[in-house]
Amino acid sequence: MKIHKRYISALVALLFAVPVMAQVPAPAPKQSKPVLLKGATLHVGNGQVVENAAVGFENGKITYAGPQSGANLSGYEVVDVTGQHIYPGLIQPNAALGLNEVESVRATIDWREVGELNPNVRSIIAYNTDSDIIPTVRANGVLMTQLTPIGGTISGTSSVVQLDAWNWEDAIVKADEGMHLNWPNMLIETGNSRGNERLKRMQEEREKTMLELEKLFRDAAVYKAGKHDSKNLKLTSMTGLFDGSQKLYIHANYGKEIIEGVNFAKKHGVKNVVVVGARDAVAVADFLKANNIPVIYSGVHVLPSRAEEDVDMPYKTPYLLHKAGILFALDYDLAIHGIRNLPFIAGTAAAYGLDKEQALASVTLNTAKILGIEKQLGSVEVGKDATLVVSSGDLLDMRTNNVTYAYIQGRHIDLNNKQKYLYEKFENKYKHQQQPAPAGATSSAGK
């Protein structure tokens, strides 16, 4: 069948009419020349603040971070950011970013596997680097995330990725760094006879799950000791829990569940444990401190867990954890679209007791320490990756946050995204509608 040239021309015109700005920006090329940012206030991420600072980086690594007066400008492409602020790139832990696009469309959801015990499931191979949501979180300074599977009792392993890559292999910062265990909920009697029948069934299910967990961890420990005849993928994937090369993230909120989960892990010889969620972390702070258990706290922008709690308890929990001497990080655990608000939950924590730089550490260096990447990321220091952001205002304040530059491993990142495109589109539309009609213009409706 012969296709008329007119139709081909129309198709080409239609393709070129698609707005480029609405698409996911292509990953930035590798850093080709040394860059030096000068004149800004540097927030190192470890509590230090340097006024009138400079930050230089070459081949993706930071070569200088300190007062501008001590920087050697020769050979560097100098970017003047006077009056602005330089921060480490923010890190979002415990997120399904890139594993889920539209919750109402099943084909875009790839964050869980069928079954209850899936230690061999790897979240990293399902990561979609072309997600429309990723550029929207980068625009607020979130440059890394921990890809976390959900569902079941053991969901699988998480990996840390940077948010500017062509594929999941290029995105990896640390692969399969931890396993996620959703601790079975404890059950409380209701006093209702009908409800207690249901409660009894649920209690039987919980006991069954606990027995399965006991067996799995015992089998894994025996397997790690080399007492096996054949390859077992599930047990092989758990060996890192016993030699400390892999963390066990226990998702639990209720205080007794936190204690039970941590004691279970210690009984089975798990070396590194992290509690995720941890709404009751303050109530069991002495236990967490005594056992050196870090926390990823997920409840800053939520309601209090109990009616008798202070209404601002979730806001001041980060300060109370810091006061108790517990290493903690913050995560935005609501819809993945809200991850762009990660800096603002740190800002809320700063308004309720935390020092501003301590709040910054809770979404940068503290997170890096918990994830085991602190030697590479989390602060703006010489030798670390040049993964940082520049904001014309306070990064943790939603009123003044305005990221003007972002770099991942020294690569200058495109900060455009679909939300910015739509904002500009409709801003221009309504500006145009508000313009007064030219003198002498006549409405067609009046004819």
Average pLDDT of every residue of the chain: 89
Structure confidence by residue, pLDDT tens digits, 141-182: 999 999 999 989 999 999 999 999 999 999 999 999 999 999
Look at strands 403-408 and 388-391 and give their pairing. Answer: antiparallel
Separation CA 279–CA 252 (nearest Å): 8
Torsion angle defined by CA atoms of residues 301, 306, 311 and 314, in that order, rounded to the nearest 10 degrees:
-30
pLDDT at 427 over 80: yes
Query: Region 79-83: what's the mean pLDDT?
Result: 96
User: Cα torsion for 301, 305, 306, 309, to the nearest 10°?
Assistant: -50
Does the pLDDT at position 215 exceed 70?
yes
Is 17's pLDDT higher than 80? no
pLDDT band at 189 (very low <50, low <70, confident <90, very high): low
Q: What share of the chain is helix, strand, coil (3-state, %, to 5)?
A: 35, 25, 45
Res 328 pLDDT > 80? yes
Report the predicted TM-score, pTM, of the whole model to 2 decimal places.
0.88
Q: Is the pLDDT of residue 5 over 90?
A: no
CA-based angle 352:358:364, to the nearest 5? Answer: 120
User: Is the sign of the CA dihedral 263, 267, 268, 272 positive or negative?
Assistant: positive
Domain with CATH 3.20.20.140 in the chain: 91-183+220-377
Tens of pLDDT, residues 403-415: 999 999 999 999 9
Span 285-310, average pLDDT: 93
| CA pseudo-torsion sign 259, 346, 40, 391 | positive
CATH code given to domain 91-183+220-377: 3.20.20.140
Element (H, E) at 347: helix 342-351
C-alpha 160/C-alpha 169 separation (Å) is 11
Q: What's the pLDDT at 16?
A: 42
432 or 233: whose pLDDT is higher?
233
Chain region(s) in the chain for CATH 2.30.40.10: 21-89+378-430
Which of 3.30.540.10, 2.40.10.480, 2.30.40.10, 1.10.760.10 would CATH assign to domain 21-89+378-430?
A: 2.30.40.10
Tell me the DSSP string of 61-99: EEEEEEEGGG---TTSEEEE-TT-EEEEPEEEEEE-BTT
